[in-house]
């Protein structure tokens, strides 16, 4: 009934109605008399002479006349507004007013929304949902376009109708998977361990944990595809923790078949302490080379708020050696924090393991974060800079050189 009414309303509001009225279709076309109040006004519009004087308040009459029916409707529809549906109503109005609010919102999301502690938190959460919805819509649209294109291509292919012959059966993905699994299984026996420290759940919000798990899933997949994978360990992993639940959400039944070691033990219980190196951006020590005999630990933590020194504190507590990537040494850093995502770390470590080439490894640092590589040795860089300065400022050469050397060494020692 409801939908029929709205449909009718739409028809009435579009220009079909005057046409219908003129042709005397009113009786059988509109079994409900609710919309009749609108028609005289529209009719008047139709007959209105353009040279007539403008009636500025006409819109009010239109709005008010269109209302009678709706008021009646709403009164009968809901006597009581519960807080939940009330909130839903407000959200709808916000959307109409042009704010970033999602079109559809589930019961759970609504509850999370109402539990947000402040107005700005609510606004942020709504925007997050809105953008998510937008992305989903776009993906769906793209998928449909793709399907259409594929159908078209198929039609064309069927027209030409030519079977191709190939010596292999088309089983690429399955075969690849088998080959990858073989390699990872090998690494579980002979490979170099890489530890993910899963003890940061209490330091993160739910969204940060979700992001962490997403990044670990990415890291695991790129490890599986590499030529010489690590043997991944999840240490300090508690069953039925938030991490665990998120992992199951991602992997489903594959979670039990993953070729990694998951344990609730600490890495210090499994490996000798002197072989462990904790990788953290806050470390005062800078990694020089990749050591194939060491076991590197990566903290599974996404830190959206500012919590410096959490993983360094952990390493300090356990008395472990720490190291940071030599980002300053190889890259002219531009903006952004020096902590990288877990999958970027994985890419970098895998490349280092295979080649030992810092330049190739640090290609995986996001481009927006640095201006370029420090390609030449420092003294050559100094020369070019000198030249620029002489051309630009006409300064005396040795003075500039001294200044630069001082600054540069200071910069290095500070970090």
Partner 1 sequence: IQPPEKPLQAEEWNRLKESFQSPELFEEVMFNNMIRCNSPIDVAKSLLTHVAKSNGDIAYNLLVKYLALCVQQHQTSEIRDVYDIMKSRFKMLESGAYNLFIRGLSNSDQWRMALTLLEEVKKLMIPSRTNYESCITAASRHQEMNLAFELYHEMLAKDLVPTLDVLQALFVFSRGMEGAELQKELFGILLYLRENQIYPHKTLMRNIKLWFESIPGGKWRGHLTNIKDSGQCPVCNHQLENSDLTEEEYSNLRERIIRDVIHGTDTFRKTSPQEFEAFQTFVENRLPFDIVIDGLNVSHIKPRKTQCENLFHAVNCLAKENVRLLVLGRKHMLINSSNWRREIMKEMQNKADFFFAENISEDDAFLLYATLRSGKHCKFVTRDFLRDHKACLSDSLTRHLFRKWQRGHQIVMFSSFFIQQPAFRFDCVVQTTGDTWHIPYKDTFEEKYSYRVPRKWLCLQQKR
Q: Could you count the other beta carbons within 10 Å of the beta carbon of residue 13? A: 13
User: Which of these segments, 22-30, 50-58, 150-158, 290-298, binds partner 1 (CB under 8 A)?
Assistant: 50-58
Two structure tokens written together for 32: 């409900």
- Residue from 32, 90, 360, 390 binding partner 1 (CB under 8 A): 90
Among 16, 36, 67, 390, binds partner 1 (CB under 8 A): 67
310 binds partner 1 per the rule CB under 8 A:
yes
Shortest distance in whole angstroms from residue 365 CB to partner 1: 24
Residue whose pair of structure tokens reads 């590589």 in the numeric block = 373
The sign one gets for the Cα dihedral 58, 60, 63, 67 is negative
- Distance in angstroms (rounded) separating the CA atoms of residues 307 and 203: 9
Burial of 306 (0-12, 13-18, 19+ CB in 10 A): exposed
Q: What is the DSSP letter of 98?
A: T
Binding flag, residue 63, partner 1 (CB under 8 A): yes
97 lies in the site for partner 1, by CB under 8 A = yes
Minimum Å distance from CB 314 to partner 1? 7
CB of 115 to partner 1, least distance (A): 14
Asked if residue 18 binds partner 1 (CB under 8 A), the reply is no
User: Whose CA is closest to 72, among 34, 40, 30?
Assistant: 34
> In which residue are the tokens 């030519």 written?
162
Taking each helix axis from N to C end, the angle separating 397-414 and 378-393, rounded to the nearest 10 degrees, works out to: 130
Q: Residue 175 CA to chain centroid, in angstroms?
A: 31
> Residue 117 interacts with partner 1 (CB under 8 A)?
no
Read off the tokens for 244: 């665990």
Let me know: does 329 contact 285? Beta carbons within 8 Å. no
Q: Minimum Å distance from CB 226 to partner 1?
A: 34
Site for partner 1 in 187-226 (CB under 8 A): 203
Q: Which is nearer to partner 1, 117 or 377 (CB)?
A: 117
399 scored as a contact of partner 1 (CB under 8 A): no
Smallest distance, Å, CB 352 to partner 1? 25
Nearest of 284, 280, 194, 197 to residue 243 by alpha carbon:
197
As a whole number of angstroms, the distance between CA 233 and CA 82 comes to: 49
Q: Which is nearer to partner 1, 90 or 135 (CB)?
A: 90
User: Is there binding between residue 177 and partner 1 (CB under 8 A)?
Assistant: no
* Binding residue (CB under 8 A) for partner 1 from 29, 94, 330, 404: 94
Under the binding rule (CB under 8 A), the answer on residue 71 touching partner 1 is yes
**DSSP characters for 183-216?**
HHHHHHHHSPEEEEE---GGGS-HHHHHHHHHHH
Nearer to partner 1, 58 or 134 (CB): 58
How many residues bind to partner 1 according to rule CB under 8 A? 44
* Residue 393 binds to partner 1 (criterion: CB under 8 A): no
Query: Based on CB atoms, which residue is closest to partner 1, 116 or 385?
Result: 116
Strand partners, 373: 331
Cβ atoms of 89 and 101 closer than 8 Å: no
Nearer to partner 1, 266 or 381 (CB): 266
| Only segment of 95-103, 148-156, 176-184, 268-276 that touches partner 1 (CB under 8 A) | 95-103
Give the span between the Cα atoms of 129 and 101, in whole angstroms: 7
| Contacts to partner 1 by CB under 8 A | 12-14, 38, 42, 45, 50, 54-60, 62-64, 66-67, 70-71, 74, 78, 81, 86, 89-90, 93-94, 96-99, 119, 203, 284, 308-310, 312-314, 316-317
């Amino acid at each position: 009934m409801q939908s029929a009414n709205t449909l009718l309303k739409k028809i009435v509001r579009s220009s079909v109605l005057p046409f219908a009225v003129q042709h005397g279709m009113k009786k059988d076309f509109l079994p409900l008399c609710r919309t009749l109040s609108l028609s005289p006004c529209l009719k008047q519009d139709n007959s209105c002479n353009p040279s007539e004087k403008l009636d500025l308040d006409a819109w009010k009459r239109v709005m008010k006349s269109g209302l009678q029916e709706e008021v009646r409707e709403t009164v009968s529809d809901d006597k009581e507004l519960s807080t939940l549906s009330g909130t839903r109503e407000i959200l709808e109005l916000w959307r109409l007013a042009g704010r970033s609010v999602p079109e559809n919102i589930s019961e759970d999301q609504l509850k999370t929304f109402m539990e947000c502690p402040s107005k700005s938190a609510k606004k942020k959460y709504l925007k997050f949902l809105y953008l998510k919805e937008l992305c989903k819509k776009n993906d769906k649209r793209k998928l449909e376009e793709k399907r259409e294109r594929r159908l078209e291509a198929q039609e064309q292919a069927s027209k030409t109708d030519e079977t191709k012959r190939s010596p292999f059966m088309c089983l690429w993905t399955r075969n690849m998977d088998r080959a990858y699994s073989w390699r990872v299984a090998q690494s579980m026996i002979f490979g170099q361990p890489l530890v993910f420290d899963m003890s940061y759940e209490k330091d993160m919000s739910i969204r940060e944990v979700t992001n962490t798990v997403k990044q670990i899933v990415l890291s695991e997949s790129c490890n599986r595809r590499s030529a010489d994978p690590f043997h991944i360990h999840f240490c300090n992993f508690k069953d039925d923790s938030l991490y665990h639940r998120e992992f199951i959400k991602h992997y489903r039944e594959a979670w039990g078949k993953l070729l990694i070691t998951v344990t609730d033990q600490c890495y210090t219980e499994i490996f000798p302490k002197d072989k462990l190196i904790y990788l953290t951006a806050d470390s005062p020590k800078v990694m020089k080379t990749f050591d194939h005999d060491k076991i590197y630990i990566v903290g599974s933590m996404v830190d959206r708020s500012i919590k410096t020194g959490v993983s360094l504190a952990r390493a300090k507590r356990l008395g472990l050696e720490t190291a940071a990537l030599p980002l300053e040494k190889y890259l002219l850093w531009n903006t952004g924090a020096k902590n990288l995502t877990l999958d970027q770390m994985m890419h970098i470590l895998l490349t280092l393991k295979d080649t030992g080439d810092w330049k190739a490894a640090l290609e995986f640092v996001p481009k927006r974060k640095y201006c370029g590589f420090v390609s030449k040795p420092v003294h050559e860089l100094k020369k070019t800079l000198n030249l620029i300065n002489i051309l630009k400022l006409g300064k005396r050469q040795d003075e500039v050189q001294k200044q630069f050397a001082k600054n540069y060494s200071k910069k290095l020692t500070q970090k």
